């Protein structure tokens, strides 16, 4: 697997947009600013209703707007990378993977889309591996032993 720097890019459209959209909708409904983004994220992940001021707020009604944001983000990515016929690996990672799964699968309909176990922690695991590799390389030949998990 190789990183394609030419196709690497970021799009200012993601989970924060989804959480803020829902928070804005809740704010309108309750008549004051709602900032419980962690609660919204938890409700989306678990599929449970959001409870605000002892009232149940069904997030399912926001599904069309959530899917629209996901499609917009993936469409922007596809415009950036161009034709995907030579893409070898499509790997879905990150805390918002579950929100973008459908849009990514549609965009890469001719590809197998892989999703790592616990995608929310993919970056952390990657940083741990990179750090462990760095320490191992830096201490090579010094007599320092690096144990599993990067701890000496």
- 38: which strand partners? none
- Residue 70 pLDDT exceeds 60: yes
Query: How many domains are there within the chain?
Result: 2
Integer Cα distance of 45 and 99 in angstroms: 9
Is residue 43 included in any domain, yes or no?
yes
Alpha-carbon distances, residue 18 vs 15, 37, 62, 71, 106 (angstroms):
5, 10, 9, 12, 19
Q: Are 57 and 93 in the same domain?
A: yes
pLDDT tens digit string along 80-117? Answer: 888 889 888 888 888 889 999 999 999 999 999 998 88
Integer Cα distance of 139 and 141 in angstroms: 6
pLDDT given at position 149: 58
Integer Cα distance of 108 and 66 in angstroms: 19
Integer Cα distance of 39 and 53 in angstroms: 13
Element (H, E) at 90: strand 90-92
Q: Are 133 and 103 in the same domain?
A: no
Q: Are 47 and 85 in the same domain?
A: yes
pLDDT given at position 52: 96
Nearest to 90 by CA among 58, 118, 116: 116
**Enclosing domain of residue 147:** 123-152
pLDDT given at position 28: 95
pLDDT tens digit string along 48-57? Answer: 999 999 999 9
Element (H, E) at 57: strand 55-57
Is residue 1 included in any domain, yes or no?
no
């Amino acid at each position: 697997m190789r990183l394609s720097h030419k196709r690497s890019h970021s799009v200012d459209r993601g989970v924060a947009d989804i959480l803020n959209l829902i928070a804005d909708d809740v704010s309108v409904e309750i008549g004051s600013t709602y900032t419980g983004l962690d609660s919204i994220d938890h409700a989306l992940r678990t599929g449970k209703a959001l409870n605000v001021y002892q009232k149940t707020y069904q997030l399912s009604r926001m599904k069309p707007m959530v899917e629209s944001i996901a499609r917009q983000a993936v469409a922007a990515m596809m415009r950036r990378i161009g034709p995907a016929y030579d893409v070898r690996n499509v790997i879905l990672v990150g805390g918002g993977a579950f929100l973008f799964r459908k849009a990514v699968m549609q965009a890469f309909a001719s590809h197998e889309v892989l999703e790592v176990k616990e995608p929310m922690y993919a970056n952390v695991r990657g940083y741990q591996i990179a750090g462990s590799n760095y320490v191992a390389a830096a201490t090579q030949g010094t007599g320092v032993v690096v144990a599993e998990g990067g701890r000496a």
